Structure 1
Amino acid sequence: MNYLLATVFIIKIIHSTVGIDYDGWLNIKIEHSLNCGSEKYCKRGNISLKSIRAGTSVIDQITFGRQHIDELRELADVDGFYTLKTTCTSADNKDTEFLSSVKAQAILDSGLSDVINAWVLPNGAIMAVSFQVDNASQPLVYGSNNYKIHSNFYLRYVEQAPVPDTASYIQKLEREREAREKGEVKDNRSFLAKYWMYIVPVAIFVMISGATNPEQAPQGAR
């Protein structure tokens, strides 16, 4: 029978230049597509944080039984994928779901060792959850009735890019257009800067004419 194992992990905080403005609890429900009967996804575990800034998470996960491993091997035989569905919930943000998959053979080759990354905005909202195998682990050894999942969880901070002030820029262009129509804007450019598009073709024409019709040199006296 599957049972829950509680393991405490320290979140690796990736500091950005602005950090994070939000602090509060975060819960990530983990579901997967193995041994679910008639359901498409069923519970694999849960990740909980009392404080994002404190940086400590608790992961509760089931252990895999032989049926889980048999289904994984069947997927690997057809080059199929093992999929995780995560649902993120916090005090100030609604439930957000994400799907992430890896090759079934890859999760077997990693010995059921994986890495889960949650990408969080400065306001505490989760914008993505990714799932990947731990390539440094050893392949799974078969023959047991229970197989423990080894997971590492990392919280990644995402710095939001500055949003362009499009409205102000459009208003500025509109004011400049109106000023040109009223004649309020003076053109202080030089003569060449104003009329180069007329001068350049004439110059090219003169150069071409000079190259194709060279003057005859005067003949010497006999």
Structure 2
Amino acid sequence: MVQISICLITNLAKADGFYTVRALVSSADNKGTEFLSSVKAKTFLDNGLTDAINAWMLPTGAVIAINFQVTNSSQSLQQDKDGYIINSKFYLRYVDQAPVPDTASYIQKLEREREARERGEVKDNRSFLAKYWMYIVPIAIFVMISGATNPEQAGQASR
């Protein structure tokens, strides 16, 4: 349970300031990392000093980020003898590792395909039009152009 002086946060809210959380994370090699996260003080105050803190960890156990956010709450400010109580929830989140591409087997597959093409073992599975379109298209264009230049002969042939 954390207590805070309401005077501090109301002054921040009036000045449209930010309430900042500072987290110091120490690792096994005694290397400390500092994380800062902020929210608008007015929003924090309006939600009854209710928040959630998320710590994001890698599978190796290293903390990579800390996130401080205000949670929507309809509860009023809770006060005890020394000040107001901050209602915090702490979540520990793990980051999933993305799949690692198997580049070695892919490169071997490309090499096998290249060697097969050089030996002529690869068959062409394309359709007739896909294989010979470059020969068909100029002939079709030539036929259309020659038919458009002699429209009178085309009209006489139909009589």
Matched, 1:89 2:26: yes
Post-superposition shift, 1:109? Answer: 0.8
Are the aligned partners of 1:107 and 1:113 in contact in 2 as well (CA < 8 Å)? yes
Matched, 1:216 2:155: yes
**Equivalence for 2:119:** 184
Matched, 1:102 2:39: yes
The share of aligned pairs that are identical, in percent, is 46
Are the aligned partners of 2:77 and 2:85 in contact in 1 as well (CA < 8 Å)? no
Post-superposition shift, 1:102? Answer: 1.0
Task: Give the Cα separation in 2 of the matches to 1:92 and 1:134.
Answer: 34
The structure whose residues are more often helix, as a share, is 2
Change (3 A) 1:164 1:218: same
Of structures 1 and 2, the larger Rg is shown by: 2
Matched residue of 2:67: which SS?
strand
Matched residue of 1:88: which SS?
strand
Post-superposition shift, 1:171? Answer: 5.3
Matched, 1:134 2:71: yes
Post-superposition shift, 1:130? Answer: 1.1
Residue in structure 1 matching 2:88, options 128, 151, 158: 151
Task: Give the Cα separation in 1 of the matches to 2:136 and 2:34.
Answer: 61
Post-superposition shift, 1:115? Answer: 0.5
Task: Give the Cα separation in 2 of the matches to 1:79 and 1:118.
Answer: 27
Change (3 A) 1:123 1:219: closer
Deviates more, 1:125-134 or 1:93-102: 93-102
Q: Which amino acid aligns with 2:73?
A: A
Aligned length: 154
> Runs of 5+ in structure 2 lacking a partner?
none
Post-superposition shift, 1:90? Answer: 4.9
> Runs of 5+ in structure 1 lacking a partner?
6-60
Matched residue of 1:148: which SS?
strand
Render the CA deviation track for 1:149-205: whole Å, top value 9, x for unaligned: 11111122322110113354345545655x379x33534105737744523532652
Task: Give the Cα separation in 2 of the matches to 1:148 and 1:141.
Answer: 6
Matched residue of 1:164: which SS?
coil
Are the aligned partners of 1:113 and 1:137 in contact in 2 as well (CA < 8 Å)? no
Change (3 A) 1:132 1:219: closer
Change (3 A) 1:174 1:146: same
Task: Give the Cα separation in 1 of the matches to 2:143 and 2:29.
Answer: 72
TM-score, scaled to structure 1 = 0.53
Change (3 A) 1:74 1:162: same
